[in-house]
């Protein structure tokens, strides 16, 4: 899922025309050594944090169907993750960096979610919304200043981009579809007693004939001690 989010962001930024103007789009870590080797205008989209959104975790499974509508598998509900990206622009002049970063910011704030046209792989198959946020909630993830300190470089203008993407659950197999209708087979298990032609009847010791109404006939039932029928004496 992570590489699919990377590809979706790359395709979205390509639509701004940056590569045609000689601007490189990379996902490298912007360390001091990397910056020294850079020799062209560059936009870096660096993934620095991953956090699961446990509040959106769900139980159960989702059925998968083939072209004929038959169930071919069951997949656990997807789990959602927040991916934090540090987006920076690199040129030889601060003014050019700010202009380039403004173009990237305009592209990222035009939409609230990654468009379907840039989704690939499991993100496209799930058909769920992959949200974008440039505010940077910062919950459970390192701050931008901490990221720059870990990279060993000086603090630079950057966009704290968050992507909220689903990770597909594990897929389980199902049995083959039922194609035959319900078949009921009945077998005569009665026995002819001494050739009388009558079926064999069950007999109960101490039993009495229930009468024409069978065992469902109403019967007088004694009440517990101290109870009485309405309008009658207590028993």
CATH number at residue 82: 3.30.2000
- Split into its structural domains, the chain has a count of 1
Q: Is residue 191 one of the residues assigned to a domain?
A: no
Q: Which domain holds residue 160?
A: 2-58+75-168
| CA 52/CA 192 separation, integer angstroms | 73
Q: Is residue 38 one of the residues assigned to a domain?
A: yes
- pLDDT in the model for residue 195: 56
114-138 pLDDT, tens per residue?
Answer: 999 999 999 998 889 999 998 776 5
| Rg of the chain in Å (alpha carbons) | 37
- Average pLDDT over the chain, rounded to whole? 81
Q: Is residue 26 one of the residues assigned to a domain?
A: yes
82-119 pLDDT, tens per residue?
Answer: 999 999 999 999 999 999 999 999 999 999 999 999 99
19-49 pLDDT, tens per residue?
Answer: 999 999 999 999 989 988 988 999 999 999 9
Whole-model pTM: value is 0.68
- Closest among 194, 137, 170 to 62, alpha carbons compared: 170
Q: Is residue 212 one of the residues assigned to a domain?
A: no
Instruction: Decide if pLDDT at 218 tops 80.
Output: no
Q: How far apart are the first and last CA of the chain?
A: 78
Q: Is residue 67 one of the residues assigned to a domain?
A: no
**CB-side exposure of 23: number of CA atoms within 13 Å?**
25
Tokens, residue 42: 């560059």
Q: Is residue 151 one of the residues assigned to a domain?
A: yes
């Amino acid at each position: 899922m992570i590489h699919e989010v990377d590809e979706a962001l790359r395709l979205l930024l390509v639509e701004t025309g940056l590569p045609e103007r000689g601007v490189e789009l990379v996902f490298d870590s912007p360390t001091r050594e990397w910056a020294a080797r850079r020799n062209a205008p560059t936009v870096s989209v660096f993934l620095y944090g991953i956090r699961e959104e446990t509040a959106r975790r769900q139980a159960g499974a989702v059925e998968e169907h083939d072209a004929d509508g038959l169930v071919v598998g069951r997949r656990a509900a997807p789990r959602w993750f927040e991916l934090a990206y540090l987006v920076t622009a690199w040129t030889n002049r601060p003014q050019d960096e700010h202009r380039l970063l403004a173009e990237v910011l305009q592209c990222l704030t035009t939409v609230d979610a990654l468009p379907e046209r840039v989704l690939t792989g499991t993100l496209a198959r799930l058909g769920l919304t992959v949200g974008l946020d440039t505010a940077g909630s910062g919950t459970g993830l390192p701050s931008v200043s901490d990221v720059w300190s870990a990279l060993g470089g000086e603090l630079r203008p950057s966009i704290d981009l968050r992507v909220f993407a689903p990770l597909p659950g594990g897929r389980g197999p199902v049995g083959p579809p039922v194609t035959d209708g319900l078949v009921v087979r009945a077998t005569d298990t009665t026995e002819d007693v001494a050739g009388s032609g009558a079926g064999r009847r069950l007999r109960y010791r101490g039993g009495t004939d229930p009468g024409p109404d069978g065992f469902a006939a109403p019967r007088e039932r004694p009440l517990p001690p101290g109870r009485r029928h309405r309008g009658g004496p207590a028993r």
